[in-house]
Amino acid sequence: MNPVYTSVIGLCLGAFRTMGWDIRVTGAEHVPATGPGVVATNHVGYLDFIFAGYGVREQGRRRLRFVAKREIFDHKASGPLMRAMRHIPVDRGGDTQRMMDEVQAALAEGDLVGMFPEGTISRSFVPLPGRPGAARMAMEAGAPLIPGAIWGTQRILTKGGSFHATRGAVITVSFGPAVPYTPDEEPSAVTERLMAAISGLVEEAQRSYPQAPRGADDTWWVPAHLGGTAPTPEEAQRMAREEAAARRERHARRAEGGPDAPKA
């Protein structure tokens, strides 16, 4: 038992009630009730990891240790909480072996590990191409690889936007059957199946979502192919490439001791 994690869960549940958010979880039976597992979901908002963690609690009150970017751990407010809850930092664009070692140790202990295989929030709210990290994690540990979909969180807080209270918003969290794989497969092939499963869950979540925009100025959270004003998938991928290039440049400057290098 982790007292910090328990306290944070209590605070989150209180916030959900205060905001009137209607959180609906389906497919929790696909999450292992005991033992290791890798839970991989789409990524549409900054609060996705909270709702993914809420979703796995439906299966025996399990807890999810999320792989998150190191910047969150470096923040003076969120960092101590992330470390206390035993989430796992990853240095995007840097050395990921330490992260993989921590993940394997967590899975060996029988923990659930959460991951966003897209690597970033999709501004189009349609899944971006996946990276093989989640598949590698599961395959190296021989653990189930569980696909998931989160929808509605983009209405609260997403990339490029400000916080919206969105009282009464419906948030859906859905899980699907474990993605099959064999030990000798290429992680890239498993990732394709994983992303197909995630995309199917996202499409179903979009089709069945019970709320519509509140007006013409509230269509920003709806994907373009559904009549909304969110960027198209092509535009979102271009933005993601530009952000990745900028991130690589920052890492290079840190390595060279430039202005983005940590202060001594």
Q: Where are the domains of the chain?
A: 3-208
- Domain 3-208 carries which CATH code? 3.40.1130.10
Q: Is the pLDDT of residue 260 over 60?
A: no
Q: Give the closest residue to 71 by CA, choosing from 236, 254, 238.
A: 254
Stretch among 64-73, 89-98, 177-186, 213-222 having the lowest mean pLDDT = 89-98
Average model confidence (pLDDT) across the chain: 89
Q: Tens digits of per-residue pLDDT, 115-138?
A: 999 988 999 999 999 999 999 999
What element of type H or E holds 139?
Answer: helix 133-141
* pLDDT band, very low/low/confident/very high, at 87 (cuts 50, 70, 90): confident
CA angle 9, 122, 69 (to 5 degrees): 55
This prediction has a pTM of 0.88
3-class state of residue 161 by DSSP: coil
What mean pLDDT comes out for the span 212-240?
A: 94
What mean pLDDT comes out for the span 45-55?
A: 91
3-class state of residue 148 by DSSP: strand
What element of type H or E holds 68?
Answer: strand 64-69
Q: Tens digits of per-residue pLDDT, 146-186?
A: 999 999 999 999 998 889 989 999 999 999 999 999 999 99
